[in-house]
């Protein structure tokens, strides 16, 4: 019996920052069976208004192990 029961590694995602706008790029993490995984999201990747926003990245290893990791996006005109 081969059964992947291990979640992907939880990545540490740095805040995405900008003064007038900020754009996030899809992060990656690793999985013990699937190798490198790229995060997916239905959230916007570009923000043009002042404030703090959260992108929820999903990492799915294709074997039933899924994690969701938040990433802050901060637009602050200093």
Per DSSP bridges, beta strands 66-75 and 16-18 are parallel
Please give the average per-residue pLDDT across 25-53, as a whole number: 98
Quick one: pLDDT at residue 75?
Answer: 98
* pLDDT tens digit sequence for 56-68: 999 999 999 999 9
pLDDT in tens, 5-21: 999 999 999 999 999 99
Q: Alpha-carbon dihedral of residues 33, 45, 23, 14, nearest 10 degrees?
A: -40
Confidence (pTM): 0.95
- pLDDT band at 39, cuts 50/70/90? very high
Quickly count helices (H) and strands (E) in the chain.
Answer: 0, 7
Supply the pLDDT for residue 1: 94
């Amino acid at each position: 019996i081969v059964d992947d029961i291990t979640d992907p590694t939880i990545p540490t995602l740095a805040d995405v920052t900008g003064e007038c706008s900020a754009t996030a790029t899809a992060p990656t993490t690793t999985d013990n069976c699937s190798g490198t995984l790229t995060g997916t999201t239905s959230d916007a990747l570009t923000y043009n208004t002042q404030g703090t926003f959260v992108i929820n990245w999903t990492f799915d290893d294709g074997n039933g192990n899924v994690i969701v990791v938040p990433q802050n996006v901060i637009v602050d005109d200093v």
